[in-house]
Amino acid sequence: MRITAQEEYGLRCVLQLALQPEGSPLSVREIARREALSVAYVEKLLYLLSRAGLTRSVRGINGGYCLARPPEEIYLGEVVRALGGFASDAEICNQFTGNVESCVHMQNCGLRPLWRVAFYIQSLLDQVPLSELLEDEEDVEHSLMKKSRAQLELV
């Protein structure tokens, strides 16, 4: 269970865009400078994010990248998925090398609860907007708990 390098760096780029005043694009060169990453790598990350519809590029001499939506409407879960994120249920089954009787889709697979845990975590990340990451960090954990509770009350 790890946050991959690609997710970390990709999120750094997204957060730089979130700090930018709306409507003024930030160039790849500038993002790369601020995060001490190579220009080529930042290009690749933003390509992945744009492909997922999270960022938007402005071409031309004063171009760059913007968020496709305001930071309040972009959720951590989306960013994580765009950057390679969680494996889907189907992918898990395809890559499974073990005996068929233990497949995730079988009733008797001991790991199914683990995947439920993973999906639960994913659903929490889908409730954290970027704007929250920019606020006072002490709030994040508390906010997550509140969201957990809200989810519980629906059950």
The residues of the shown chain that bind a copy of itself, judged by CB under 8 A, are 1-4, 7-8, 11-12, 15-16, 19, 34-37, 76, 80, 84-87, 97-99, 102, 110-114, 116-121, 124-125, 128, 132-134, 137, 140-142, 144-146, 148-149, 151-152, 155
Residues in binding contact with DNA, number by CB under 7 A: 29
Report the residue count for the chain: 155
90 binds, among DNA, a copy of itself, none (CB under 5 to 8 A by kind): none
Is position 102 an interface residue for DNA (rule: CB under 7 A)?
Answer: no
How many angstroms separate the CA atoms of 48 and 4, rounded? 15
3-state secondary structure 35-76: HCCCHHHHHHHHHHHHHCCCEEEECCCCCEEEECCCHHHCEH
Distance of CA 128 to the CA centre of its chain: 10
Q: Which does 60 bind (CB under 5 to 8 A by kind): a copy of itself, DNA, none?
A: DNA
